[in-house]
Amino acid sequence: MKQFQYVHPSTQQSVLDAINKPGTKIIAGGTNLVDLMKRGVTAPDKLVDINRLPLKGITATKTGLHIGALALNSVVSEDNLVVEKQPLLSMALKSGASPQLRNMATVGGNMMQRTRCTYFYDITMPCNKREPGSGCGALEGFNRMHAIFGASPQCIAVHPSDMCVGLAALDAVVVIAGRKGERRIPFTGFHRLAEDHPETDNHLAKDELIIGVEIPDNNFAKHSYYLKVRDRQSYAFALVSVAAALDIDNGTIRQARLAMGGVAHKPWRLFDAEKALIGKPVSEESFKQAAQIAMQGAKAYQYNAFKLKLAPASITEALKHASGLV
């Protein structure tokens, strides 16, 4: 690993001052960043450790839950407020990584983690995300794990997070601090598609800091489910994952939230399928129709065509679990 400078400021202002310089990166849990630094995928001159900032809290507000950016994945997943009000987030978090990693990884860091595309990780291979203009190794390569929605000819990598899929489904809002003050953006607008700039994963500016996420109160707690399909039963990234949340009144769906992981460069919210579910009875038929709508525009590559069947089957299955059909 390349040598670097290390600072650990105690105030938000000093963090914001420190990160506004080229070659600087924030470190929180380090579970992804240290990994990337060891492999030479990234080589910052300076690390700004933000763990002294008071951003670990999980609090109920008048309109929902506020979760600090430094709250640990393990803590959030077992927090009473989260389990009671937003069980979908708890389920998504528990399906990610391992207990050791969840003890280190933070909410903000989880959002900032990079793709696990093997061509991004292997510095001897071309990758437009790692080295813009070098090409995409996955496009014609072993692309079994890759995107089926919204991919660009320059990058077909997927976002690896489970937590983010849950937060995208739950209409979360990202709270960001910058030198000009705070701003809030919808979670679904935080990450971006690769398009012509696969090197940029999200809309956080270089001189900004994630300070928390807010999840508005909802009526989904009774009917939520996170389904993760992977190569082994635990401790693996998703081939496909589905976050499903339903508000059911007397057997009829009032509201629905659906998002998928492992299928796009960002957590993939299924707005059209959600609309199609409103007013429908809780039945396998309704769910299959929604899944069909969700798959419109999907496109497979050489080795990931199985996702075109796996994804709709997973959506149906997740909805069956969420609604209590199984």
Partner 1 sequence: MTSKNSCIEPENEGNLTDATRRDFLKQSTLLTAIALTPAPLVKAAENGWDEKIADVYEKVPVNIEVNGVKHQLSVEPRATLLDLLREQLDLTGTKKGCDYGQCGACTVHVDGHRVNSCLTLGVMVNGKKITTIEGLAKGDQLHPMQESFLKHDGFQCGYCTPGQIMSAVACIREGHANSATEIREYMSGNICRCGAYPNIISAIQEVKEGGQEV
- Residues 6 or more apart whose Cβ sits within 8 Å of residue 188: 168, 267, 269
Q: Rg (Cα) of the chain, in Å, rounded?
A: 19
> Could you say whether residue 179 binds partner 1 (CB under 8 A)?
no
Q: Which of 24, 26, 31, 263 binds partner 1 (CB under 8 A)?
A: 31
The amino acid at 318 = A
Minimum distance between the CB of residue 99 and partner 1, rounded to whole angstroms? Answer: 5
Q: Which stretch binds partner 1 (CB under 8 A): 41-49, 193-201, 215-223, 310-318?
A: 41-49
> Could you say whether residue 10 binds partner 1 (CB under 8 A)?
no
Residue 96 or 166 with smaller CB distance to partner 1? 96
Q: Which of 10, 11, 23, 134 binds partner 1 (CB under 8 A)?
A: 23
Diameter of the chain measured on Cα atoms: 62
Q: Are 207 and 20 in contact (CB under 8 A)?
A: yes
What is the distance between the alpha carbons of residues 57 and 49, in angstroms, rounded to a whole number? 18
What is the distance between the alpha carbons of residues 322 and 244, in angstroms, rounded to a whole number? 6
- Count of beta carbons in the 10 Å neighbourhood of residue 283: 15
Residue 35 or 247 with smaller CB distance to partner 1? 35
- Residues 6 or more apart whose Cβ sits within 8 Å of residue 228: 95, 162, 238, 241, 261
- Here the tokens at position 198 are 């696969």
The secondary structure of 236-283 as a DSSP string is S--SEEEEEEEEEETTEEEEEEEEEESSSSS-EE-HHHHHHHTT-BSS
Q: Which of 10, 13, 21, 38 binds partner 1 (CB under 8 A)?
A: 38
Q: Which stretch binds partner 1 (CB under 8 A): 95-103, 200-208, 275-283, 306-314?
A: 95-103
The H-or-E segment that residue 227 falls in is: strand 224-229
Minimum distance between the CB of residue 41 and partner 1, rounded to whole angstroms? Answer: 11
> Could you say whether residue 17 binds partner 1 (CB under 8 A)?
no
Give strand pairing partners of 325. Answer: none
> Could you say whether residue 278 binds partner 1 (CB under 8 A)?
no
**Which position has the token pair 């809290």?**
57
Minimum distance between the CB of residue 258 and partner 1, rounded to whole angstroms? Answer: 25
The amino acid at 37 = M
How remote is the C-alpha of 154 from its chain's centroid? 21
- Dihedral class, residue 159 (left if φ above 0, else alpha if ψ from -120 to 50, else beta): beta
Q: Which stretch binds partner 1 (CB under 8 A): 38-46, 209-217, 260-268, 308-316?
A: 38-46
Minimum distance between the CB of residue 30 and partner 1, rounded to whole angstroms? Answer: 6
> Could you say whether residue 27 binds partner 1 (CB under 8 A)?
yes
> Could you say whether residue 123 binds partner 1 (CB under 8 A)?
no
Minimum distance between the CB of residue 77 and partner 1, rounded to whole angstroms? Answer: 11
Give just the sign of the alpha carbon dihedral 82, 86, 89, 95: positive
**CA angle at 162 for the pair 112 and 91, rounded to the nearest 5°:** 135
- Interacting residues with partner 1 between 216 and 275 (CB under 8 A): 233-235
Residue 44 or 137 with smaller CB distance to partner 1? 44
Q: Which of 10, 11, 13, 51 binds partner 1 (CB under 8 A)?
A: 51
Q: Which of 3, 80, 124, 250 binds partner 1 (CB under 8 A)?
A: 3
Q: Which of 100, 134, 219, 296 binds partner 1 (CB under 8 A)?
A: 100
> Could you say whether residue 99 binds partner 1 (CB under 8 A)?
yes
**Chain contacts with partner 1 (rule: CB under 8 A):** 1-6, 8, 23, 27, 30-31, 34-35, 37-39, 45, 47, 49, 51, 74, 97-101, 103-104, 233-235
